[in-house]
Amino acid sequence: MQTSLIILKPDAIQRGLAGQILQRFERKGLRIAAAKLMLVPREQAEKHYAEHHGKPFYDGLINFVTSSPVMVLAIQGLEAITVCRTLIGATNGRKADPGTIRGDFGMSGGFNLVHGSDSEASAERELALWFTDNELTDTPRTIEQWVYDPSDL
Q: Dump pLDDT digits (tens) for 73-129.
A: 999 999 999 999 999 999 999 999 999 999 999 999 889 999 999 999 999 999 999
Quick check: is 97 in a domain? yes
Q: What is the CATH number for 44?
A: 3.30.70.141
Enclosing domain of residue 70: 2-139
Task: For residues 104 and 106, give the distance between their C-alpha atoms in angstroms, rounded to a whole number.
Answer: 6
Choose, from 48, 52, 53, 115, the residue flagged as catalytic.
115
How many CB atoms within 10 Å of residue 93?
A: 22
Has residue 150 been placed in a domain?
no
Domain membership of residue 89 (yes or no) is yes
Express each pLDDT in 17-30 by its tens digit.
999 999 999 999 99
Domain count, the chain: 1
Question: What pTM does this model have?
Answer: 0.94
Told to judge if 115 belongs to the known catalytic residues of this protein, a careful annotator would answer: yes
Classify residue 149: in a domain, yes or no.
no
Establish if 119 belongs to a structural domain: yes
Report CA 28 to chain centroid distance, whole Å.
14
- The arrangement of strands across the sheet holding 70-77 comes to 31-38, 70-77, 2-8, 114-116
